[in-house]
């Protein structure tokens, strides 16, 4: 960057070092100065701008205090990242542990969850069930019951493994022993605990490709090297090849209405996968938020957990996709040894999961009201899926969008016509007031640029068509600003 162009007003009452600070901060924020770039030495910049060295040193010191630059004796001053909030005078960024700084925590998941929260935006981004179906009356009744009859247990100190009542109820429903159930504050917590329990930095982990972004980010932050297993092909030969070549620490898969593709692994594929995993002594993490969200008459094949004869499957479940994500209640089922280890790790960040909600959910499960709710939810989800499918056929297919036919889960997985990228469409979509999840975030290797995911269940039914119409306008805007084949700078192969 050309530092002589920094705008400083010498006749202003604002001290020059603050003006220089603001100018440099602006340059970092706008990307004129990139992370890793070296600033001129204090002496050099002072002479280029006709300032005293103290003025430049004052600005650099403040930039460092704000965590924007880092000085290394003998090497110079380097831009380290984008600015923190103006009220953050202490450079926390420079204090984070080596593993956080090195492996980095991605913002993708957070953006995905927030993208639907802006007023006026119709969000097809994060996956949540239809809120209209949330059984408020039952919830109130069970809450009152828990408070009147079990307040001291529900609100008192409780086992890290979870309230025995909910462990029993989940165990009964899922057909496993209560001792093999660990209650979680959402299944994402389970993924994190498993990563902490099983992964050493540098280990290989096989993940669905494309696969759940929260798992990709968590395993990556634990220092794992991720190897993608192609979910569309689901070739067992390919999986065996990966097991032989990389000796991974675990296989993470979402076999039922997979997020994001919606694919269901057949019974045969499940059996073959388990045989391979057993042969190569590789644990399988089965992430299954969706089994109960089937929309056709027949439920999907049994979970890997129930087909497993070798005790190698850790099964994750959640109430986020069937009741509400805000309840933050999930669970896992695994060997008692693993449940014990995970509970010890869980204690470090979450002494125990909130109790009242556990009582309420246990009552839902044992009273039959959960089943009644699921029947109503499936009907509403099928209706919304059909609404979105018709809208996509009407508005988006003419633009060349192709998409799957979800038979469960909460999403359409879509492919853009050749040459169009989801990021460009998303940029236009933000202006049009509609949000979705770009495909790239579901790949461990930055592929999927021409894919995207739309959640059909969470937006109100009467907003779905309008949302897809906005999406169509975004497609048109992105297509008109994307160079067509032949006009592109790079050859299309
Ligand atoms: N696994 C998958 C495949 C998911 O899609 C999600 C949520 N999007 C989770 C786990 C985490 O869900 P929660 O923590 O809310 O239970």
Average pLDDT of the chain to the nearest whole number: 90
Out of 312, 336, 369, pick the residue that ends a domain.
369
Q: Is residue 255 part of a domain?
A: yes
Output the residue whose Cα is nearest ligand 1's atom 8: 127
- Judge if 145 and 282 occupy the same domain: yes
Residue 317 beta carbon below 6 angstroms from any ligand 1 atom: no
Out of 353, 369, 385, pick the residue that ends a domain.
369
Q: Residue 35 has what pLDDT?
A: 76
- Judge if 322 and 346 occupy the same domain: yes
Strands 330-333 and 313-318: antiparallel
% residues pLDDT > 70 (the chain): 92
Q: Is residue 489 part of a domain?
A: no
- Judge if 54 and 114 occupy the same domain: no
Residue 282 beta carbon below 6 angstroms from any ligand 1 atom: no
- Judge if 90 and 7 occupy the same domain: yes
Number of domains in the chain: 3
Which atom of ligand 1 is least distant from the CA of 185?
14
Residue 283 beta carbon below 6 angstroms from any ligand 1 atom: no
Residue 248, pLDDT > 80, answer yes
CA of 127 to the centre of ligand 1 (A): 9
- Judge if 167 and 309 occupy the same domain: yes
Probe residue for ligand 1, chosen from 124, 188, 442 as the CB with the greatest number of ligand atoms within 8 Å: 188
State the SS3 of the chain: CCHHHCCCCCCCCCCHHHHHHHHHHHHHHCCCCCCCCEECCHHHHHHHHCCCHHHHHHHHHHHHHCCCEEEECCCEEEECCCCCCCCCCCCHHHHCCHHHHHHCCCCHHHHHHHCCCCCCCEECCCCCCCHHHCCHHHHHHHHHHHHHHHHHHHHCCCCCCCCHHHHHHHHHHHCCCHHHEEEECCHHHHHHHHHHHHCCCCCEEEEEECCCHHHHHHHHHCCCEEEEEECCCCCHHHHHHHHHHHCCCEEEECCCCCCCCCCCCCHHHHHHHHHHHHHCCCCEEEECCCHHHCCCCCCCCCCHHHHCCCCCEEEEEECCCCCCHHHCCEEEECCHHHHHHHHHHHHHHCCCCCHHHHHHHHHHHHHCHHHHHHHHHHHHHHHHHHHHHHHHHHHHHHHCCEECCCCCCCEEEEECCCCCCHHHHHHHHHHHCEECEEHHHHCCCCCCCCEEEEECCCCCHHHHHHHHHHHHHHHHHHHHHCCCCCCCCCCCC
What's the rounded Cα separation, in Å, for the pair 343 and 351?
A: 9
Residue 212 beta carbon below 6 angstroms from any ligand 1 atom: yes
Residue 289 beta carbon below 6 angstroms from any ligand 1 atom: yes
Residue 331, pLDDT > 90, answer yes
Q: Is residue 488 part of a domain?
A: no
Q: Is residue 466 part of a domain?
A: yes
- Which domain CATH number covers 242? 3.40.640.10
- Judge if 143 and 279 occupy the same domain: yes
- Judge if 220 and 260 occupy the same domain: yes
Residue 444 beta carbon below 6 angstroms from any ligand 1 atom: no
- Which domain CATH number covers 25? 1.10.10.10
C-alpha distance from residue 429 to each of 123, 275, 456, 478 (Å) = 10, 45, 16, 9
Residue 83, pLDDT > 80, answer no
Q: Residue 30 has what pLDDT?
A: 80
Residue 253 beta carbon below 6 angstroms from any ligand 1 atom: no
Out of 335, 369, 403, pick the residue that ends a domain.
369
Range of the domain at 432: 105-133+372-480
pLDDT in tens, 416-434: 999 999 989 998 998 899 9
- Judge if 209 and 309 occupy the same domain: yes
Q: Is residue 53 part of a domain?
A: yes
What's the rounded Cα separation, in Å, for the pair 393 and 380?
A: 20
Euclidean distance between the first and the last CA atom of the chain, given in angstroms as a whole number = 36
Probe residue for ligand 1, chosen from 114, 182, 194, 320 as the CB with the greatest number of ligand atoms within 8 Å: 320
469 HSE (CA, 13 A, CB side): 5
Q: Is residue 487 part of a domain?
A: no
Mean pLDDT of 130-152: 97
- Judge if 376 and 403 occupy the same domain: yes
- Judge if 233 and 337 occupy the same domain: yes
Q: Is residue 491 part of a domain?
A: no
246 HSE (CA, 13 A, CB side): 23
% residues pLDDT > 90 (the chain): 73
What's the rounded Cα separation, in Å, for the pair 228 and 445?
A: 8
- Which domain CATH number covers 423? 3.90.1150.10
Mean pLDDT of 31-35: 81
- Judge if 301 and 274 occupy the same domain: yes
Mean pLDDT of 400-405: 96
Residue 353 beta carbon below 6 angstroms from any ligand 1 atom: no
Nearest of 42, 4, 36, 37 to residue 23 by alpha carbon = 4
pLDDT in tens, 251-305: 999 999 999 999 999 999 999 999 999 999 999 999 999 999 999 878 899 999 9
Residue 318 beta carbon below 6 angstroms from any ligand 1 atom: yes
pTM over 0.85: no
Residue 409 beta carbon below 6 angstroms from any ligand 1 atom: no
- Judge if 146 and 222 occupy the same domain: yes
Q: Is residue 111 part of a domain?
A: yes
């Amino acid at each position: 960057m050309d530092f002589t162009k920094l705008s400083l007003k010498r006749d202003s009452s604002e001290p020059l070092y603050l003006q220089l600070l603001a100018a440099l901060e602006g340059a970092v924020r706008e990307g004129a100065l990139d992370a890793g770039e070296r600033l001129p030495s204090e002496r050099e910049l002072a002479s280029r701008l006709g300032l005293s060295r103290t003025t430049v040193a004052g600005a650099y010191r403040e930039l460092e205090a704000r965590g924007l630059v880092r000085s290394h004796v003998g090497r110079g001053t380097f831009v380290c990242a984008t600015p923190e909030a103006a009220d953050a005078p202490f450079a926390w960024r420079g204090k984070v542990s080596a593993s956080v700084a090195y492996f980095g925590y991605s913002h993708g998941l957070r953006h995905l969850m927030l993208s639907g929260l802006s007023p006026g935006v119709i969000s097809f981004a994060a996956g949540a069930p239809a809120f209209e179906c949330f059984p408020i009356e039952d919830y109130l009744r069970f809450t009152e019951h828990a408070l009147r009859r079990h307040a001291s247990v529900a609100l008192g100190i409780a086992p890290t493994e979870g309230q025995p009542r909910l462990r029993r109820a989940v165990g009964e429903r899922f057909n496993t022993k209560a001792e093999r159930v660990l209650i979680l504050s959402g299944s994402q917590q389970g993924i994190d605990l498993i990563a902490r329990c099983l992964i050493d930095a540098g280990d290989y982990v096989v993940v669905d490709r494309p696969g759940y972004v929260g798992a990709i980010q968590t395993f990556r932050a634990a220092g794992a090297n991720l190897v993608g297993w192609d979910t569309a092909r689901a070739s067992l030969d390919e999986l065996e090849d990966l097991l032989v070549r990389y000796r991974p620490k675990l296989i993470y898969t979402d076999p039922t209405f997979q997020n994001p593709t919606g694919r269901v692994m057949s019974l045969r594929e499940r059996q073959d996968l388990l045989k391979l995993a057993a042969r190569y002594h590789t644990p399988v993490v089965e992430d299954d938020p969706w089994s109960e969200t089937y929309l056709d008459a027949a439920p999907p094949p049994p979970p890997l957990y129930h087909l497993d004869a070798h005790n190698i499957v850790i099964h994750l479940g959640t109430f986020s996709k069937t009741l509400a994500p805000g309840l933050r209640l999930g669970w896992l089922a695994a060997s008692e040894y693993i449940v014990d280890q995970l509970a010890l790790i869980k204690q470090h960040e979450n002494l125990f999961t909130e109790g009242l909600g556990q009582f309420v959910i246990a009552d839902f499960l044992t009273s039959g009201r959960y089943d009644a709710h699921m029947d109503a939810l499936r009907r509403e989800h099928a209706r919304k899926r059909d609404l979105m499918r018709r809208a996509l056929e009407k508005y988006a297919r003419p633009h060349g969008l192709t998409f799957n036919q979800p038979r469960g889960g909460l999403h359409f997985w879509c492919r853009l016509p050749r040459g169009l990228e989801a990021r460009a469409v998303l940029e236009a979509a933000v202006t049009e007031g509609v949000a979705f999840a770009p495909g790239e975030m579901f790949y461990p290797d930055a592929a999927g640029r021409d894919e995207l995911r739309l959640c059909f269940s969470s937006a109100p039914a009467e907003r779905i068509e309008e949302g897809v119409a906005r999406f169509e306008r975004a497609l048109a805007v992105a297509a008109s600003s994307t160079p067509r084949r032949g006009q592109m700078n790079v050859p299309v192969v």
